Structure 1
Amino acid sequence: MSRTPALLSIGQAAERTGLSVHTLRFYEKEGLLINPVRRVGGQRVYSESDLSWLYLCTRLRASGMPLPAIREYVALVQEGESTMQGRLALLQSHRERVSAQIEELQGCLALVSRKVALYEAQLADDGSDPLWTGSCVVGLEGQD
């Protein structure tokens, strides 16, 4: 006996994905879904594969991929296997941007960590502010 995959209402899909109903409609309108959203009785319904695709889209967005690039990726996937090289190139390019962002953030984290250590040391010592001289803030050169 064959089993029909469960279909979820837009509300159930929103709950399962953590996206709002508005966002699900937006993704549909923007053409970010790999398959057209099916309708049963006039209501949008989503399958497990739709939810998996939405997860991929949200991770791409969270990593900074612009909507036009996601639309391009969707179009390539919809075209089929012949576009695999194009999909690979698009994702490799995005990976390079994400890696550069991570490197930049690592530098920011290192700076903030040094500042935290400076303040923790000062508070543990005598509590004086190494950047404050009474009426003005001392320049930050060498104070990182």
Structure 2
Amino acid sequence: MQYTVGQMAKRLGVAPSTLRYYDKEGLLPYVERSDGGIRVFKEKDYEWLSIIECLKQSGLSIKEIRRYIDLCWEGDSTIPERLQLFVNRRRAVQQQMAQLQKTLDLLDYKLWFYQTSEAAGTTSIHDGQTAEDIPEEYREAFQHAHGRGDN
């Protein structure tokens, strides 16, 4: 089956302009064109585009993604380098997720803080609270917020 830019973009959940940009930046050397010069995507292109999108979402630059594609084209001798790229990306994403979890935990604590304050009609109900006074699921975020004086 063949797909137009619009069809493939919809399938990937990106804008058609994203695929055109990828092509302009040299990320789609494998995509065929019709006699009229129109990009024609095939089923195998979806996997490549999914990997490109994954790498982009993980924080890799277009230049770094292009380097990955070049490594793929160079063949099996570049497997160790490609493996290391994915090890590094995975580690970076894990670190991002850990930071996002801390952010979510603090947001949850502040939601609890303001929900209980709203129920009481005042934030002063939290004056003088210690970590032991806070529900266990919010204690770490409380300590983080309290250490910065954030109430």
TM-score by length of 1: 0.80
Q: Deviations over 1:80-130 (max 9, x none)?
A: 111100001111111111111111111111111111111111122x22134
Displacement of 1:32: 1.7
Q: How does 1:1-144 map to 2 (within 5 A)?
A: 6-33=1-28, 35=30, 37-42=31-36, 43-124=38-119, 126-130=120-124, 141=149, 143=151
Displacement of 1:58: 1.0
Displacement of 1:142: 6.2
SS at match of 2:123: coil
Which stretches of structure 1, 4 residues or more, deviate above 6 A after TM superposition?
Answer: none
Percent identity over the alignment? Answer: 38
CA distance in structure 1 between the aligned counterparts of 2:62 and 2:5, rounded to whole angstroms: 21
- Number of corresponding residues: 128
Unpaired segments ≥5 residues, structure 1: 1-5, 132-139
How much is the aligned-residue C-alpha RMSD, in angstroms? Answer: 1.9
Indicate if the aligned counterparts of 2:32 and 2:40 stay in contact, CA closer than 8 A.
yes
Unpaired segments ≥5 residues, structure 2: 126-147
CA distance in structure 2 between the aligned counterparts of 1:28 and 1:44, rounded to whole angstroms: 9
CA distance in structure 2 between the aligned counterparts of 1:41 and 1:86, rounded to whole angstroms: 36
Indicate if the aligned counterparts of 2:23 and 2:29 stay in contact, CA closer than 8 A.
no
SS at match of 1:32: coil
TM-score by length of 2: 0.76
Which letter maps to 1:141? G
Which letter maps to 1:32? L
